[in-house]
């Protein structure tokens, strides 16, 4: 893909329309060109790990399914896949070797939402989040209370730490310090660090919208750490009159800008989904702490946004090039390239 000026996507007027002050983000130099997508409904967009999921969700939408039911069925594929170490069963654990899961969802037609955080022992937090939405007057349940609620609702408890993820945890733990009492686990010095998440947003043929995000969170996190995924307006957000958006990547950076909400608001003010995602990322860069910036003022982390509008148009954007997202519509299920702010080779090292 060729690189073009950020102005090609946003422009002074569009940035003002989004209510954003570019400030130091005015340094941003490059994005990537992408084709103008023809809107069609139904349609589903997700993070790249949701390729199988968008196919399932789209098929359900063509048969008249509710958009949230379709989206959750899509993310359930990853939640229940023990080989996917970013969500659900087999997710990489926290520093104590315990898998803690987060999820949230929103249902456009009813304007309702639900979420769970630090949930242990239940492989499908997206469904527990929907149960919070459907059966309680609350939005967010956390920790032991979330697990107690899930069990009361009939969810089955299971050990989520697969042998594969346990071995990765042992490798990480053995190499925290050369002076501790843990022997190196094996000769494999590759330590996995994951912020893996799946976000999925769907719009029906009649224009109803829903969104869901689910994750096992940052690998080796401090127990109890909660990222953006279960936070309404950060990990995902849905407005049935406008569209939906969600994110994967560094949750702490997203929380500070209420990124999913900001992206939907950008679309409300006239930006395309793609433009809205880029505008939100500019805000992320402007709000990044100095300790997380390289000498060139660019983040030492990546963040990705995905958005879909009520008319079925969609877009995905990342801070650095190389990002992809999954989409399914009348053209089928496929991966497409995200637009970006910086080329990946320009990304500062940690």
Q: 103: which strand partners?
A: 116, 214
Task: Provide the 3-class DSSP secondary structure of residue 265.
Answer: helix
How far is 45 from 76, CA to CA, in rounded Å?
Answer: 15
* Number of other residues whose CB lies within 10 A of the CB of residue 86: 24
* CA 83 to centroid of chain Cα atoms: 19
Residue 322, CB half-sphere, CA atoms under 13 Å: how many?
Answer: 9
Q: Is 197 among the catalytic positions?
A: yes
Angle formed at CA 277 by CA 274 and CA 279, multiple of 5 degrees: 110
How far is 195 from 87, CA to CA, in rounded Å?
Answer: 10
Q: Summarize the chain as % helix, strand, coil (round to 5).
A: 30, 25, 45
Q: CA distances (Å), 28 to each of 122, 233, 256, 304, 341, in order?
A: 42, 25, 20, 16, 6
* Number of other residues whose CB lies within 10 A of the CB of residue 239: 19
3-state secondary structure 5-36: EHHHCCHHHHHHHCCCCCHHHHHCCEEECCCC
Question: Buried b vs exposed e over 298-334: b needs ≥16 C-beta within 10 Å?
Answer: bbebbbbbbbbbbebbbbbbbbbbebbbbbbbeeebe
How far is 9 from 14, CA to CA, in rounded Å?
Answer: 8
Q: CA distances (Å), 156 to each of 30, 128, 174, 195, 316, in order?
A: 48, 11, 32, 26, 35
Task: List phi, psi (to 5°) of 252.
Answer: -60, -35
Q: Given 124, 195, 197, 213, which residue is catalytic? A: 197
- Catalytic positions, written as ranges: 197
């Amino acid at each position: 893909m060729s690189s073009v000026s950020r102005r090609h996507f946003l422009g002074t007027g569009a940035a003002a329309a989004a209510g954003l002050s570019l400030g130091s983000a005015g340094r941003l130099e490059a994005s990537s060109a992408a084709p103008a997508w023809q809107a069609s409904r139904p349609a589903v967009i997700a993070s790249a790990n949701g390729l199988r999921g968008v196919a399932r969700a789209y098929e359900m939408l063509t048969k008249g399914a509710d958009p949230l039911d379709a989206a959750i069925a899509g993310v359930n594929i990853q939640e229940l896949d023990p080989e996917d170490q970013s969500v659900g069963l087999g997710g990489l654990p926290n520093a104590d070797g315990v898998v803690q899961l987060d999820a949230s969802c929103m249902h456009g037609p009813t304007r309702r939402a639900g979420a769970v955080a630090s949930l242990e022992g239940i492989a499908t937090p997206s469904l527990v989040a929907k149960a919070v939405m459907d059966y309680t007057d609350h939005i967010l349940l956390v920790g032991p209370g979330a697990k107690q609620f899930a069990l009361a609702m009939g969810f089955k408890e299971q050990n989520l730490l697969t042998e594969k993820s346990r071995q990765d945890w042992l490798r990480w733990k053995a190499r925290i310090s050369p002076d501790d009492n843990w022997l190196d686990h094996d000769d494999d010095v590759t330590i996995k660090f994951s912020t893996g998440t799946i976000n999925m947003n769907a719009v029906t043929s009649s224009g109803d919208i829903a969104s869901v995000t689910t994750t096992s969170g940052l690998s080796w996190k401090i127990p109890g750490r909660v990222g953006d995924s279960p936070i309404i307006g950060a990990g995902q957000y849905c407005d049935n009159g406008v569209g939906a958006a969600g994110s994967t990547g560094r949750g702490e950076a997203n929380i500070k800008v209420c990124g999913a909400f900001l992206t939907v608001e950008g679309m409300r003010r006239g930006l395309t989904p793609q433009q809205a995602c880029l505008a939100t990322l500019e805000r992320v860069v402007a709000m990044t702490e100095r300790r997380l910036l390289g000498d060139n003022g660019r983040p030492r982390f990546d963040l990705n946004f995905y958005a879909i509008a009520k008319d079925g148009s969609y877009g995905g954007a990342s801070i650095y090039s190389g990002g992809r997202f999954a989409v399914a519509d009348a053209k089928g299920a496929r991966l497409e390239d995200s637009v970006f702010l910086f080329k990946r080779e320009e990304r500062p090292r940690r």
